[in-house]
Amino acid sequence: DDQKGKPLGPKEAATPSASEEEPLVAVIMGSDSDLPVLRPAFQILNTLNIPFTARITSAHRTPDWLREFSKSASSTGLRVIIGAAGGAAHLPGMCASWTTLPVIGVPVKATHLDGVDSLYSMTQMPRGEPVATVGINNSTNAALLAVRILGASDLEIRERLRVWMEGNEKEVLRKDRVLLE
C-alpha cells in the first residue's frame, strides 16, 4: 500500500514528463490497468512540453488518499486534473467535489458495458461539480483540452498548441495528396 499514490516512474509511465518542473497537469487513474489508455495523453503533454505528474488513486479502494490529493491539489502548482477510470467511474467526480481546479474525465472501456458505463458516470454528474468528459478512451483529447485550459492564460502555451495544430493540418493535406497520386 506504500506504493499507492506514488508518482509513476519512467518505466510505468512509458513517456515520462520531459522536465523536472512543477507539474501543471495531474493525470490520475483508478488502476494501473488504465495506463495503456493514458499513454497518448502522456505523449501529447510531452510533445507540448507541459510538465505533468501521473498517479494511481481509486475512488473506491483509496478514498482517503483521493480526498487528500484533491483537497491539496490547488495549493500546489497544479492547474488541471485529468481523471481516468472505468466501470462505476466516480474518480473525476469525487475529485471535482474536493477541488476548484478544472477536472477532465476520461471514461475507460474496462467492463462488459464497453465504457458506456464510465461515460455515463462522468457526464451525469449532478449540478454543482462539473467533469469535462471526453470520448471513451480518448485521452488524447483530454490532454489537448488540458493544454487549451492552460493556454487560456498563457500565450506561450497557446502558441505551442497552434503550431501543433498546424502540423496536424499539414499531415491531413499530405495524406490527401498521396491519395491522388
Enumerate binding residues for ligand RP5 (CB under 6 A): 29-31, 33-34, 58, 85-87, 108, 110
Helices (H), 22-154: 35-47, 63-73, 91-98, 116-123, 139-151
Residue 31 vs 70, nearer CB to ligand RP5: 31
Q: How remote is the C-alpha of 119 from its chain's centroid? A: 15
**Residue 90 has which C-alpha cell?**
466516480
CB atoms within 10 A of CB 116: 12
Residue 136 vs 147, nearer CB to ligand RP5: 136
Q: How far is the CB of 90 from ligand RP5 (least distance, A)?
A: 8
Q: How far is the CB of 27 from ligand RP5 (least distance, A)?
A: 12
One-letter identity of residue 19: S
Q: How far is the CB of 165 from ligand RP5 (least distance, A)?
A: 30
Q: How far is the CB of 45 from ligand RP5 (least distance, A)?
A: 19
Report the length, in residues, of the chain: 181
**Residue 2 has which C-alpha cell?**
506504500
Residue 139 vs 147, nearer CB to ligand RP5: 139
Q: CA 88, CA 118: separation in Å to the nearest integer?
A: 6
Residue 46 vs 58, nearer CB to ligand RP5: 58
